[in-house]
Amino acid sequence: MSSRQFFCKFPQALISEPLISHTLGVKFGVVPNIRGATISATAAHVVVEIEGGETEIADSVAYLSERGVEVKELMDGEEPPQL
């Protein structure tokens, strides 16, 4: 199993959907771990670590992007943008 960390920007329309906390685990069999978040009425910024197989992680990220979430992978030691 692998683990990779991502910075995600959610648009207002997706804030109330449990895309990370529920959908990724159920739909792709990965384990998401929210490492930090800032959520307002108009946007959400989330740092999430996703654990699973490489294919499942890639499929999870593609799914988030398809839904309208901006996703940027954080490389080892890279700090996320200020939350």
Compute the mean pLDDT over every residue in the chain, rounded to the nearest whole number. Answer: 94
Domain at 2-74, CATH class: alpha beta
For residue range 37-81, what is the model confidence (pLDDT) as tens digits?
999 999 999 999 999 999 999 999 999 999 999 999 999 888 888
Question: Residue 49 and residue 40: Cα distance in Å, rounded?
Answer: 21
Per-residue pLDDT reduced to its tens digit, 15-42: 999 999 999 999 999 999 999 999 999 9
pLDDT band with cut points at 50, 70 and 90 for residue 83: low
pLDDT of residue 32: 97
What residue ranges do the domains of the chain occupy?
A: 2-74
Kindly write down the DSSP assignment for every residue of the chain, as one continuous string.
-EEEEEEEEEEGGGTTS-IIIIIHHHHH--EEEEEEEEE-SSEEEEEEEEEE-HHHHHHHHHHHHHHT-EEEEEPTTPPPPP-
The pTM assigned to this predicted structure is 0.91
